[in-house]
Amino acid sequence: AQSVTQPDIHITVSEGASLELRCNYSYGATPYLFWYVQSPGQGLQLLLKYFSGDTLVQGIKGFEAEFKRSQSSFNLRKPSVHWSDAAEYFCAVGGGYNKLIFGAGTRLAVHP
Amino acid sequence: GAVVSQHPSRVICKSGTSVKIECRSLDFQATTMFWYRQFPKQSLMLMATSNEGSKATYEQGVEKDKFLINHASLTLSTLTVTSAHPEDSSFYICSARSGIDTEAFFGQGTRLTVV
């Protein structure tokens, strides 16, 4: 079955600390992988995506993610978190942009 | 990125009435639009996929007669929640794309409360 698992429901980090949000997927074909960010009451904004090629992808707002096929993972990282990064983060998988399957999300809180 | 606008952003309606949510692509032609539903503190669940000029394809478990989707033009899709009940209260989000292998852009969502 196709699925996305985000093991951490809620993460709290201090401003300036590094961040890693975990994402594991199960997908029958070559996956297209995405990370989205959602602020309260807002729609989703695409942070980055992986389709093929270099397994380390750079996104907006200083985020990056690494695709590890052997681990079926696509973890999101940021070296130094800003207070404005507090939001909900969703990992998603799909065959291209078709019918994205979303994880349950990780809520990030940032302490000053 | 491209802009997708949803209207209204919030709506409160009485139980038994119908409510329409609009999703517009402002600067591109959306051949496909997706409608999602999001419960509090949960992920997005795809409800249906609509292609311009065709009937929408609903996901398993989604009542097509309750959630009417119309995609009559390349810039507008509507979701009508018919005979709404309190359990229909949720956050509804649309996304739109211009082609098969192009990014889908999300609207800002509509918070529906049925009282």
Average pLDDT over residues B3-23: 96
End-to-end CA distance of chain A: 41
Angle B52-B53-B57 from CA coordinates, rounded to 5° = 75
Q: Residue type at B18? A: S
Average pLDDT over residues B55-62: 93
Percent of chain B at pLDDT > 90 equals 76
Kindly indicate the confidence band of residue A16, based on its pLDDT and cuts at 50, 70 and 90. very high
Q: Minimal Cα distance from A32: which residue of B?
A: B101
End-to-end CA distance of chain B: 36
Q: Shortest CB distance from A97 goes to which of B4, B102, B111?
A: B102
Residues of chain B with C-beta less than 8 angstroms from the C-beta of A102: 43-45
With 70 as the cut, is the pLDDT of residue B84 above it? yes
Average pLDDT over residues B73-98: 94
Find, among B99, B107, B76, B81, the residue nearest to B12 by Cα.
B81
How many interchain CB pairs under 8 A, A with B? 50
Percent of chain A at pLDDT > 70 equals 97
Q: Pairing between strand A24-26 and A32-38?
A: unpaired
Mean pLDDT of the residues in chain A: 92
> What is the tens place of the pLDDT at every residue in A49-82?
998 899 999 999 999 999 999 999 999 999 999 9
How far apart CA B26 and CA B30 sit, in angstroms, is 9
With 70 as the cut, is the pLDDT of residue B32 above it? yes
pLDDT of residue B72: 83
Q: Pairing between strand B19-25 and B76-81?
A: antiparallel
Q: Minimal Cα distance from A51: which residue of B?
A: B101
> What is the tens place of the pLDDT at every residue in B99-112?
877 788 899 999 99
pLDDT of residue B39: 84
Q: Are B110 and B9 in contact (CB under 8 A)?
A: yes
pLDDT of residue A99: 76
| Token pair for B89 | 């209260």
pLDDT of residue B1: 66
Mean pLDDT of the residues in chain B: 92
3-class SS string, chain B: CCCEEEECCEEEECCCCCEEEEEEECCCCCCEEEEEEECCCCCEEEEEEEECCCCCEECCCCCCCCEEEEEEECCEEEEEECCCCHHHCEEEEEEEECCCCCCCEECCCEEEEEC
Q: Are A43 and B97 within 8 A, CB to CB?
A: no
Q: Shortest CB distance from B111 goes to which of A41, A100, A105?
A: A41
Q: Residue type at B51? A: N
Q: Shortest CB distance from A42 goes to which of B42, B102, B109?
A: B109
**Would an 8 Å CB–CB cutoff place B57 in contact with chain A?**
no
pLDDT of residue A97: 61
pLDDT of residue A104: 92
Find, among A107, A93, A87, the residue nearest to A24 by Cα.
A93
pLDDT of residue A30: 80
Q: Are B43 and A99 within 8 A, CB to CB?
A: no
How far apart CA B17 and CA A36 sit, in angstroms, is 34
Residues of chain A with C-beta less than 8 angstroms from the C-beta of B101: 96-97
How far apart CA A109 and CA A94 sit, in angstroms, is 28
Interface test with B, best of A39, A44, A47 (most B CBs within 10 A): A44
Q: Are A97 and B104 within 8 A, CB to CB?
A: yes
How far apart CA A2 and CA A111 sit, in angstroms, is 35
Kindly indicate the confidence band of residue A1, based on its pLDDT and cuts at 50, 70 and 90. confident
How far apart CA A46 and CA A36 sit, in angstroms, is 4
| Structure-token match 């809620």, residue found | A10
